[in-house]
Amino acid sequence: MTRFWLIKLVRTVITLWFVVTFAFIVLRTSGDPVVALLGADAMPDEIEHFRELWGLDRSLFAQYVSYVGQMATGQFGNSLRDSRPVLEIILERLPATAQLGLAAFIIAAIIGIPAGIVAALRRGRLTDRIVMVFAVFGFALPNFFLGILLILLFSLYLQILPSSGTGTFLHLLMPSVTLATFTAGTLARFTRSAMLEVLEKPYMRAASARGVPFWQRVLFHALPNAAIPIVTVIGLNLGQLVAGAIVIESVFAWPGIGRLLVVAVSQRDLAVVQGLVLVIAVTMVLANLIVDLLYGLLDPRIREGAK
Amino acid sequence: MSRPNVITVMASSILVAAVAAAVFGNVFTPHLVTDQALMSRLQPPAFMGGSAEFPLGTDRIGRDMVARLVAGLQMSLSVALAGTLIGAIFGTFVGFLAAHFRGLTEEILMMFVDFQASLPFILIALTLLAFFGNSMVLFVILMGMFGWETYARLARGVVLSARAQPYARAVEALGAGPGRLYLRHILPNVASALIVQVTLTFPQIILLETSLSFLGLGIQPPNTSLGQILGDGRDYLSTAWWISVWPGALIFLITLSMSLLGDALRDRLDPMLKTRTT
């Protein structure tokens, strides 16, 4: 049991170390870090201070060590645009993205999981076909195009929803639905195949023979046993949600970190890009750790297997 | 062999049509993609009262949408094709290396695989684009870096199991070197799994390229891609919806057909993978 948690923890630390090292290598191979992080028109005393802080006169290894230390304590430097600390800017934008991501996740779960269950129960029937067609559409439809279509329909033609910005529930509706589509499709597919596998198990026939009512069988006997693959997919889809948010926040001018990242990349505000990448990567790696641990809690066989 | 069903036939037809349009598309329109007709800016498509000269309408500087879509299609398809091939070859090679050397080499290579799999690729792509600046070469390399880890995992797993089989040991015993063993004997046996993976990666690379180009961070003018045209049209949604809807519909049709074809191919070539839905 302890061994299971320990292995997961070590893996997580190694991945985080890889992420920081990746950022360091990119920073040092792409050009002068002074120009990269302070801009070409930095003041001489600013440059001097930066050189000292980063230890640019010391060996590459010493620089690496001090870099890891700075990143670990959240000292990402200042934005080129308004010279505010990067961490402050990121923290300011984080709630909007969290709100969008959470809303999308809830929508995806509410639509995807029941749709998958129904499709499995009506296997091969029309309902199943319809659900699977929608799942494939959700998979292949580019999210930015869906966003544009929704804006055309609801903002410009019907004029009932705002096309951009934030503030009210109505503002949240289109971006979160757009973001949820892909995850909902994936969830529906996986829930369906997980349920199909479970429904054929002998204990389901046994429950039916004992006279357990249909919905009770589905919800209390089948669903918990299908939960493992579903949780895995949710874990795998966190990355999809993050990647989707980067694009969708730009479509709907949603003031989150995804929009911030796109603007920073196009303006080559490298301190902000670097800070954002590290923050997003750490969040994702930690979220994956939580999913892994959840996995172990749901299925004792997995943590026993790690012994 | 069962008869191909309606969906597979439709999906293949759409893909063939898309490739044909990219290659021969210029036949359908007298206009060059660079031709600007400033007198006929933002003309609606012919079926909405526009002129027959511009059947799908024009953009903000009067360029023919048909010509632009053909150019965008050429770019999007060739970038995705190049990216898919680079990723497939590089990933398979890494997988073979890991399976051949085992031990520390395998551990290190697989750590890179895990690292790339742990982050959304768009994040890595954006970082590299920001720090190194955008160029066509870097962009194509980035598309090639997408998904290589899947091939590496796949190739490694298949080689590990193939090497234990009698045919591989027989070839080895006959004195074949590793190059011959992997390329002539093992590769043909894993080809179907790799081809299935290619059909699944290709639409994802199209989506990645069009997303980045849509955001203005991918293909740069004067070059054009479907995503870039779509991004261009965003500012004209209220007056000229066709600028964004045509390229979007094309992207959707291509990714949808390719995914459907990939699923069908997987079921046919690789029944073992049928239950896996990733």
Q: What is the CATH number of the domain that holds A208?
A: 1.10.3720.10
Name the residue ranges covered by the structural domains of chain B.
6-277
Considering just the CA atoms, what is the radius of gyration of chain B in Å?
22
Whether A282 contacts chain B with CB within 8 A: no
**Contact present, B168 and B185 (Cβ < 8 Å):** yes
The residue ranking higher by pLDDT, A68 or A114, is A114
Instruction: Indicate whether A32 and A95 sit together in one domain.
Output: no
The model's pTM is: 0.87
CATH superfamily assigned to domain B6-277: MetI-like (1.10.3720.10)
Whether A246 contacts chain B with CB within 8 A: yes
- In this complex, which of B132, B203, B237 lies closest to A152 when CB atoms are compared? B237
- Judge whether A81 lies within some domain: no
Interface of A with B in 55-94 (CB under 8 A): none
Determine the Cα–Cα distance for residues A225 and B210; give it in Å rounded to an integer: 39
Instruction: Indicate whether A102 and A220 sit together in one domain.
Output: yes
Q: What is the largest CA-CA distance in chain B?
A: 75
Instruction: Indicate whether A23 and A116 sit together in one domain.
Output: no
* Band of residue A31 on the pLDDT scale cut at 50, 70, 90: confident
Per-residue pLDDT, B119: 83
Residue-wise pLDDT for A164-191, tens only, equals 777 788 888 899 999 999 889 989 988 9
Determine the Cα–Cα distance for residues B154 and A16; give it in Å rounded to an integer: 25
CA B47 to chain centre: 32
Instruction: Indicate whether A167 and A216 sit together in one domain.
Output: yes
Residue-wise pLDDT for A199-215, tens only, equals 888 888 888 888 888 88
CB contact under 8 A, A148 and B237: yes
Instruction: Indicate whether A108 and A145 sit together in one domain.
Output: yes
Instruction: Indicate whether A30 and A146 sit together in one domain.
Output: no
Residue-wise pLDDT for A287-305, tens only, equals 888 887 777 777 776 666 5
Instruction: Indicate whether A93 and A164 sit together in one domain.
Output: yes
Q: What is the ipTM of this complex?
A: 0.85
The parent domain of residue A68 ranges over 2-72
Q: Find chain B residues with C-beta within 8 A of A156's C-beta.
A: 237-238, 241
Per-residue pLDDT, B239: 84
From first to last of its 278 residues, what are the pLDDT tens digits of chain B?
456 688 888 889 999 998 988 888 777 777 887 778 777 777 888 777 777 778 788 888 778 888 889 999 999 999 999 999 999 999 999 998 998 888 888 888 888 888 887 788 998 999 899 888 888 899 999 999 998 988 998 888 888 888 788 888 888 888 888 888 888 888 887 788 888 888 889 999 999 999 999 999 988 888 899 999 999 888 888 888 888 999 999 999 999 999 888 888 877 776 555 444 43
Per-residue pLDDT, A91: 92
How does the average pLDDT of chain A come out, rounded? 84
Per-residue pLDDT, B2: 54
**Three-class SS string for chain B?**
CCCCCHHHHHHHHHHHHHHHHHHHHHHHCCCCCCCCCHHHCCCCCHHHCCCCCCCCCECCCCCEHHHHHHHHHHHHHHHHHHHHHHHHHHHHHHHHHHHHHCHHHHHHHHHHHHHHHHCCHHHHHHHHHHHHCCCHHHHHHHHHHCCHHHHHHHHHHHHHHHHCCHHHHHHHHCCCCHHHHHHHHHHHHHHHHHHHHHHHHHHHHHHHHHHHHHCCCCCCCCCCCHHHHHHHHHHHCCCCCHHHHHHHHHHHHHHHHHHHHHHHHHHHHCHHHCCCCC
In the chain, the amino acid numbered B210 is T
- In this complex, which of B118, B244, B252 lies closest to A140 when CB atoms are compared? B252
Per-residue pLDDT, B42: 79
**Contact present, B11 and B261 (Cβ < 8 Å):** yes
Instruction: Indicate whether A163 and A122 sit together in one domain.
Output: yes
* Band of residue A95 on the pLDDT scale cut at 50, 70, 90: very high
In A77-222, alpha helices (H): 86-121, 126-140, 143-150, 169-199, 202-209, 214-216
Q: Note if the bond before B222 is cis, omega within 30 degrees.
A: yes
**Residue A42 half-sphere exposure, CB side, CA atoms within 13 Å?**
21
> Comparing A56-70, A248-262, B71-85, B126-140, which segment has the lowest mean pLDDT?
A56-70
Instruction: Indicate whether A91 and A68 sit together in one domain.
Output: no
Instruction: Indicate whether A201 and A269 sit together in one domain.
Output: yes
Task: Write down which residue in A40, A72, A104 finishes a domain.
Answer: A72
- In this complex, which of A26, A142, A151 lies closest to B237 when CB atoms are compared? A151
Whether A148 contacts chain B with CB within 8 A: yes
Smallest CA–CA separation between A27 and chain B, in Å?
7
CB contact under 8 A, B118 and A288: yes
CB contact under 8 A, A265 and B129: yes
> Comparing A2-6, A93-97, A106-110, A300-304, which segment has the lowest mean pLDDT?
A300-304
Q: What is residue A214's DSSP assignment?
A: H
Determine the Cα–Cα distance for residues B169 and A130; give it in Å rounded to an integer: 49
Task: Write down which residue in A49, A72, A95 finishes a domain.
Answer: A72
Average pLDDT value for residue range A251-274? 90
Tokens standing for B193? 């799994």
- Judge whether A78 lies within some domain: no
Average pLDDT value for residue range A217-221? 86
Indicate the number of domains in chain A.
2
Whether A277 contacts chain B with CB within 8 A: yes
Instruction: Indicate whether A66 and A91 sit together in one domain.
Output: no
Per-residue pLDDT, B278: 35
Determine the Cα–Cα distance for residues B55 and B51; give it in Å rounded to an integer: 7
The residue ranking higher by pLDDT, A71 or A90, is A90
Whether A142 contacts chain B with CB within 8 A: yes
Per-residue pLDDT, A307: 40
Burial zone of A240 (CB within 10 Å; 0-12 exposed, 13-18 middle, 19+ buried): middle
Interface of A with B in 116-135 (CB under 8 A): none
Instruction: Indicate whether A29 and A143 sit together in one domain.
Output: no
Residue A42 has pLDDT above 50, yes or no: yes
